[in-house]
Amino acid sequence: MARGRATDTAALVAAAAEAFRRKGYRNATIDDIAEAAGISRPTVYKYTRSKQHLLDLMVDEVTGTMRRQLEEVMDSGEPPQVRLRQMIKTHIGSATANRTFYAIVFSEEVELSDAGRAAFRAWAHARTQDFRVLLEECLPPDSPLDPTVAANLVLSMLSTLFRWYDPAGPVGPDELSRQIESLLGALLPSEVTT
């Protein structure tokens, strides 16, 4: 049963995420979503046209907020190493705050509508390009690292935090960020601080 009655689309999306997490996207029904939202089946359709639409809205939730946060980092005017650290922290913060959405979106990408899948992939490509550009700014001219490969490796790691990382566990988000920075030590000279 839902904690409270869903009274808007955002609350319905959160309830759908709970139903999808519990039962899986394919096994969750509109009735399961209605029960999780504390509303009737007909009321579900007041806020959405389909279960797939709710999944697309989860993508919008994750990508919209994160897009704005990452644009602020990229446009901050800070040195590249500082922006890289901030970008890593932003990814960690988003992945921990939206853990359920991440788990559903990444595991159910095939279930997105064609438009939702295209939007998600375009968003992911743009974020990878931002990260690649930032890495290029951080790398010394003689670096053997390929910024495209490095960007994809790091972002793959950050995008899958929902699978293994527990922010309430022994390694908090700040320590996780420091450990990732250590992993990228060649890119983040120690004299640059945030």
pTM of the model: 0.81
Give the torsion through C-alpha atoms of 117, 173, 72, 153, to 10 deg.
-50
| Helices marked H in the chain | 9-23, 30-37, 41-47, 51-74, 80-97, 99-107, 114-138, 147-159, 161-164, 173-183
Structure tokens at 166: 């527990």
- Would you mind telling me the total number of residues written for the chain in this entry? 194
- Check whether 191 has a pLDDT greater than 60: no
User: Which class for 22: exposed (0-12), middle (13-18), buried (19 or more C-beta within 10 A)?
Assistant: exposed
pLDDT at position 187, please? Answer: 60
pLDDT at position 188, please? Answer: 57
- Check whether 36 has a pLDDT greater than 80: yes
Closest CA to 59 of 98, 24, 97: 98
- Which fold would CATH assign to domain 55-183? Tetracycline Repressor; domain 2 (1.10.357)
15 within 8 A of 2, measured Cβ to Cβ: yes
Q: What is the mean pLDDT of residues 131-139?
A: 90
Look at 34 and 140; give whichever has higher pLDDT: 34
Query: Domain extents for the chain?
Result: 9-47, 55-183
86 within 8 A of 78, measured Cβ to Cβ: yes
- 9-47 domain in CATH 1.10.10.60? yes
Q: What is the mean pLDDT of residues 37-57?
A: 92
What's the start-to-end Cα distance of the chain, in Å? Answer: 44
pLDDT at position 98, please? Answer: 87
